[in-house]
Amino acid sequence: MIVHKKLANGFEYIEIKNSAAEAKIALQGAHIFHYKRADEEQILWLSEVSDFEYGKAIRGGVPICWPWFGFNENKNLPQHGFARVSMWEFIKSDESDEKSSSLIFRLTHGSQTLKMWRYKFELELHVTISDKLTMELKTTNLDCESFVLTQALHTYFKVSHISHALIKGLDKKPYLDALTWKNEIQEGDITFNQEVDRVYQEVTDEIILRDENREIHIKNSGSSSTVVWNPWIEKTLRMSAMNENAYEHMLCIESANAFDDRKVLKPQSSYTIKAVIF
């Protein structure tokens, strides 16, 4: 079942329920902010104090960072691009299978986007809600010039406690430490006892997030960079829409095209990044 909903302030989202799973997706940002399998715990983390207001990105779920990841050279432009705070169009859905619902959302250039980024484009998010969460983000260059794209499906995962969280699958991978801007090599699994903000490169294998009582798998395609992030104590205090202990219950594993993994799209060409979470 797919139901359009609206908060008292007019903020619109879509609620999806089938026999295998449920989800909620805001039209602003095509932002998935709730996903769980039937009879299981939430997979995505959502801040208890997140804003659901036009113009502000939801803190949690899966923000879409596009058409740039991180800061733009022009510091007046928003970090992580404009897609997460733009209104997308809900194009269509398919509920023919009782265990799976598919939805398509679209964002295209307009006067607002052209002020921030001069290219004409079409961006589509294809989401499938089943016992897996599947996200495919397809960029098409509708301009007569090539453009450079960096992007991320910036997934916030819920963990029972950060001290129990362990990430497998990145051993021996090179990474850029965004806290020191040094290039490093990962040794072993990733655990958390301080702020972590890293862009792993050459990522090809499945990533596993191990928590106290469960494992979540992330399979990416079209992306060879993975961002791993937990803001820890001090950064959490500086951030918007975060309770002071929020860092204890979340971490991000972001399926990205960032830094050296940026993509150049020629006119009329398309590029798709895909993440499957199960």
- List residues with catalytic annotation: 154, 254
Number of neighbours of residue 255 by Cβ within 10 angstroms = 29
Backbone angles phi, psi at 88, to 5 degrees: -100, 165
Q: Which residues contact 19 (CB under 8 A, 6 or more apart)?
A: 38, 98, 99
**Whole-number minimum distance, CB 257 to ligand BG6, in Å?**
13
Closer of 103 and 253 to ligand BG6 (Cβ): 253
Alpha-carbon span 160 to 178, nearest angstrom: 26
DSSP letters spanning 130-191: SSSEEEEEEEEE-SSS-EEE-EEEEEEEE-S-GGG-EEES-TT-EEEETTTTEEEE--S-B-
Closer of 13 and 229 to ligand BG6 (Cβ): 229
**Whole-number minimum distance, CB 145 to ligand BG6, in Å?**
28
**Whole-number minimum distance, CB 150 to ligand BG6, in Å?**
11
Q: Which residue is nearest to ligand BG6 (CB)?
A: 79
Contact (CB, 8 A) for 49 and 61: no
Alpha-carbon span 130 to 225, nearest angstrom: 26
Query: Tokens at residue 243, please?
Result: 């309770």
Closer of 86 and 130 to ligand BG6 (Cβ): 86
Closer of 154 and 249 to ligand BG6 (Cβ): 154
**Whole-number minimum distance, CB 180 to ligand BG6, in Å?**
13
Number of neighbours of residue 152 by Cβ within 10 angstroms = 29
Applying CB under 6 A, which residues contact ligand BG6? Answer: 57, 79-80, 154, 178, 197, 227, 229, 239, 254
